[in-house]
A and B are shown apart, each in its own frame.
Chain A
Amino acid sequence: MGKRTDAEMPENPLEPYIESIRQQLEEQDPVLLVGVIVALAVVVITCVFLKYFLTSKTVRSAVLLVGLCDAGKTLLFIRLLSGKFKRTQTSITDSSAPYKAKNDRGSTWTLIDLPGHDSLRSQYLEKFKSAARAIVFVVDSAIFQKEVRDVAEFLYMLLTDTVVCRNAPTLLVACNKQDITMAKSAKLIQQQLEKELNTLRVTRSAVLSAQDGSVGGSVYLGKKGKDFEFSQLPMKVEFLECSARGSKGDDGVADVESLEKSLAKL
């Protein structure tokens, strides 16, 4: 039933209207017509400007915690907000809360902890990436060696995202779990990631196009013809070491000052 009426609609009821409008317009004198058109144009342009103005003006105030599963994002989230230790499980949705930066300005950001599981990560990143003022990329330094390729792939996806590249939020790579003795240093992690991202640039650009013809990651990572370095990126990148667990076990205080300091500078 719905279909039939739909099909008839454009034929009958509109035609007389259009006809009468055209007649009226022809009767009017052309000056008025120009006036009307100009007025309309002004309104449209104002709207467009206003929208542009508003969207570009909105302060991006979210600080995203991203990274692989078990990197310690949720515990960092808890530590940053309350300083307490809590047990955590694999997250299946985001958590967000206002976070007061430890600086004189007293700026408040929205801290958002995103799930790190492979099957959720891109969906959640999609949802929050445009609001990101800073992205804290959390790495498990203790098993970094084993995970380096996965970490790099996630980072590659993040850094070649068009929205992320355009907004260029500060990237803080938090090398977490420094309390564990085998943990790799921030410096080494940076070097290894640069090397791995350099390789990924080759393999990822050769990846098959998707069914709809789109190729993932349209942004070229870093400078063409040069080995990749984080300094080539459009955003500010900082590597820091921290430990959400703290050296004294579960009840001790965390060692996250470096991260807090960096967040205060945003």
Chain B
Amino acid sequence: MLDFFTIFSKGGIVLWCFQGAGVTESFTGPVNALIRSVILQERGGNNSFTHEALSMKYKLDNEFELIFVVGFQKILTLTYVDKFIDDVQLHFRDRYKNELEQKGALKHVNNSFDFEDRFKKLLREAEESSKARSPPPMRSFEKSEKSQKTVKSMIETKGGDKAKEQGGKKNKHTKKEAPAVEPAKGDQGKTPPSGQKAVVNGNQGLTPEEIIQKNREDFFRKRMMGPAEKPIKSPKPQKPKEKQNRVWNNGGSSAKNLDYSNKNGEASPGDGERNLDGRFDPDMQVSSMKGDLLSVDYESSEEGEMEEEEEEEVVVSETSKTSPKKSGGFGGMFGMLKGLVGSKSLSREDMEPVLEKMKDHLIAKNVAADISSQLCESVAKKLEGKVMGTFTTVASTVKQALQDSLVQILQPKRRVDILRDVMEAQSQRRPFVVTFCGVNGVGKSTNLAKISYWLIENGFSVLIAACDTFRAGAVEQLRTHQRRLNSLHPPEKHGGRPVIQLYEKGYGKDAAGIAMEAIAYARNQAFDVVLVDTAGRMQDNAPLMTALAKLIAVNMPDLVLFVGEALVGNEAVDQLVKFNQALADHSMSDKPRLIDGIVLTKFDTIDDKVGAAISMTYITGQPIVFVGTGQTYNDLRSLNARAVVGALMKA
């Protein structure tokens, strides 16, 4: 049933692996895809991933720095997998404890981890128990006893331990899982598209937990492979949306916002509705997952972790709502000392208050709410079980991990050197084409002019294609920029040839056509770069989004830059997801052209609320190529990840 199971160190050395009978393809590629697109992008809140025909689930062991990955055909619904990974992890740790405790990477290289028989046995047990279709309390109880003896720290994180936690857990299930189960039921009622039917039917007879799991997978698939899926219709009012709006109002206090909300009104809600839904499902699941985890921690902390929590509060000088304190100052002091001196492994409960604080902090810095929680979730997953060094507090550990993750997110995932790419295009005797897109008034035209200036300064000739044929004055704005730039760099100094020209066909024409003519013109006239200005459009305006997608699909620019304001809060998510979705939906090829870079404008107006930088890179996985920091031609910068993260983490 399983295609593979692999256990490897975070350093990348495979310790042991299992390959299912009759499986010929190597799992190296799919697992690398999982690492690169989930773990390295801090999307770790979700532990499953689909790659082509494979479904994969993974688990991090932060104490021994291991990763466990299981893969199976995605058409299968294997209900036992989650618990199975946990079991394998426990047994593996148990069996190789001594080896794994050695220092350095030599242990991974020299020891042979002969786990075959134990694994086979576990697998047989798991498969049998699932065949019997009986929920597995008996077995798991037995196993949890085993595990108690061996690895204490694991018990809290163990998912399937129903027997042990039965008391408290039951009502939690019903309470917290309700919202997540709901959408799944809605799907069933609403006649799902035929492709999904089988899966939906499969849902019957699953426990709520499993349904959630499946939903998460669906969510993930939608996010990752959005283009393939048709949005599902469900007219329910969406919860996350409300939340988003509220925070957005809080975030923006600048005058520019006014501008913005006006335009919000322009978009016709009816148009957007359909496109919206496909993507709101996932958001909903994320937040419901969040709720679940939160409450578990809250309740368990009341049960016995009070001391620990208190110690945290002392160390971090926690200000958030504190439940009545049970133990006095003495216990707190003792806990604090214990926390400082003893090396202990981090548990979810330890981190929860700090994470909560960090999340609020990020939101206060204008990171979209959704993304803040996903990030914190991912950090938690990365730290859970990790052994802290002496004299480090939970707060400092979490903070450091978050900081590393933020730097990691902002670090471009590919080479960003536009000048080099322009030179490459030059050598191929074709113009390098850049398309700018974004909502209204974010600074597309202004920053296009700044980028022209930078390119001209570096010796390239630029053709601006005025494809904003919509907004009154848009062409004249570009004309003005072109004149000014030409007077700054007069043709006499450049061999009698204007360094910048405007290609325009007035208003009301088809933008894609103008862009195409402009590119052809540039090729004939040997321009090095074509910058295509497009009309601003709200992400919900379907006809305009289709037009943009067409422009990009037809002209195949070398670079599609999304221009976004640094002022934007939760709205960033919506904008980017929808722009990408539109491009994907209307692309004619199977490898759609999406946004491949971001221009972050008005960075001078936001002080240290730099969260938009994180939101935008997190969603697209694309680098911030330019940062606009004012209204003169010189106010163009590149992003400094460390500086931005510094500003983010600043209290």
Q: Within the complex, what minimum Cβ distance (angstroms) separates A164 from chain B?
A: 18
Per-residue 0/1 for A142-160: is the Cβ within 8 Å of any B Cβ (1 yes, 0 no)?
0000000110010000000
- The yes or no answer to B81 lying at the interface (CB within 8 A) is no
Question: A208 touches which one: B67, B626, B644 (CB < 8 A)?
Answer: B626
- The yes or no answer to B39 lying at the interface (CB within 8 A) is yes
> Contacts A91-B10, A118-B411, A153-B415 hold; do A208 and B637 have CB atoms under 8 A apart?
yes
Q: Is the CB of B640 within 8 A of A92?
A: no
A203 contact set on B, CB distance < 8 A:
417, 419-420, 423
Question: A92 touches which one: B35, B108, B603 (CB < 8 A)?
Answer: B35
The segment from B11-19, B469-477, B542-550, B576-584 that touches chain A is B11-19
Nearest A residue to B422 via CB reads A203
- The yes or no answer to B110 lying at the interface (CB within 8 A) is yes
- The yes or no answer to A212 lying at the interface (CB within 8 A) is yes
Question: A89 touches which one: B14, B636, B638, B643 (CB < 8 A)?
Answer: B14
Nearest A residue to B413 via CB reads A118
A82 contact set on B, CB distance < 8 A:
109-110
- The yes or no answer to A86 lying at the interface (CB within 8 A) is yes
Q: Within the complex, what minimum Cβ distance (angstroms) separates B379 from chain A?
A: 14
B105 contact set on A, CB distance < 8 A:
77, 81, 95-97, 113
Question: A214 touches which one: B109, B409, B640 (CB < 8 A)?
Answer: B640
Q: Is the CB of A117 within 8 A of B40?
A: yes
B629 contact set on A, CB distance < 8 A:
211
B14, B409, B423, B424 — which one has the most chain A CB atoms within 10 A of its CB? B14
A92, A200, A209, A212 — which one has the most chain B CB atoms within 10 A of its CB? A92
Q: Is the CB of A208 within 8 A of B454?
A: yes
Complex Cα–Cα for A125 and B417 (A): 20
Within 8 A of A (CB), among B511-529: none
Question: B109 touches which one: A97, A119, A206, A207 (CB < 8 A)?
Answer: A97
Within 8 A of B (CB), among A157-213: 199-200, 202-204, 206-212
> Contacts A84-B109, A206-B458 hold; do A113 and B11 have CB atoms under 8 A apart?
yes
Question: B637 touches which one: A69, A153, A210 (CB < 8 A)?
Answer: A210
Q: Is the CB of B9 within 8 A of A95?
A: yes
Q: Is the CB of B28 within 8 A of A89?
A: yes
- The yes or no answer to B627 lying at the interface (CB within 8 A) is yes
Q: Is the CB of B404 within 8 A of A153?
A: no
- The yes or no answer to A123 lying at the interface (CB within 8 A) is yes
- The yes or no answer to B552 lying at the interface (CB within 8 A) is no
A74 contact set on B, CB distance < 8 A:
11-13
- The yes or no answer to B414 lying at the interface (CB within 8 A) is yes
Question: A210 touches which one: B411, B417, B643 (CB < 8 A)?
Answer: B643
Q: Is the CB of A93 within 8 A of B415?
A: no
Q: Which of under 10, 10 to 19, 20 to 34, or 35 or more describes the interface residues of B?
A: 35 or more
Complex Cα–Cα for A209 and B644 (A): 14
Within 8 A of B (CB), among A74-101: 74, 77-78, 81-82, 84, 86-98
Per-residue 0/1 for A107-145: is the Cβ within 8 Å of any B Cβ (1 yes, 0 no)?
000000101011110110000000000000000000000
B32 contact set on A, CB distance < 8 A:
70, 89-90
Question: B40 touches which one: A92, A122, A202 (CB < 8 A)?
Answer: A92
B36, B404, B644 — which one has the most chain A CB atoms within 10 A of its CB? B36
- The yes or no answer to B65 lying at the interface (CB within 8 A) is yes
> Contacts A89-B31, A96-B104, A199-B420 hold; do A150 and B603 have CB atoms under 8 A apart?
no
Complex Cα–Cα for A97 and B104 (A): 5
Q: Within the complex, what minimum Cβ distance (angstroms) separates A71 from chain B?
A: 12
- The yes or no answer to B53 lying at the interface (CB within 8 A) is no
Complex Cα–Cα for A169 and B419 (A): 30
- The yes or no answer to B488 lying at the interface (CB within 8 A) is no
7 A-B residue pairings within 8 Å (CB atoms): A81-B106, A87-B14, A97-B104, A113-B12, A123-B407, A211-B643, A212-B643
Leading 6 A-B pairs by shortest Cβ distance = A95-B11, A91-B12, A95-B105, A210-B640, A203-B419, A87-B14
Q: Which residues of B contact A (CB under 8 A)?
A: 6, 8-14, 17, 28, 31-32, 35-36, 39-41, 65, 67, 104-106, 108-110, 404, 407-409, 411-415, 417, 419-420, 423-424, 454, 457-458, 603, 626-627, 629, 636-640, 643-644
| Besides A89-B12, A150-B415, 16 new A-B residue pairs in contact (Cβ under 8 A), listed by A number | A74-B13, A78-B13, A78-B109, A84-B109, A89-B8, A89-B28, A91-B10, A94-B11, A95-B9, A98-B104, A149-B417, A199-B420, A203-B419, A203-B420, A206-B457, A210-B639
Q: Which residues of A contact B (CB under 8 A)?
A: 69-70, 74, 77-78, 81-82, 84, 86-98, 113, 115, 117-120, 122-123, 149-150, 153, 199-200, 202-204, 206-212, 214
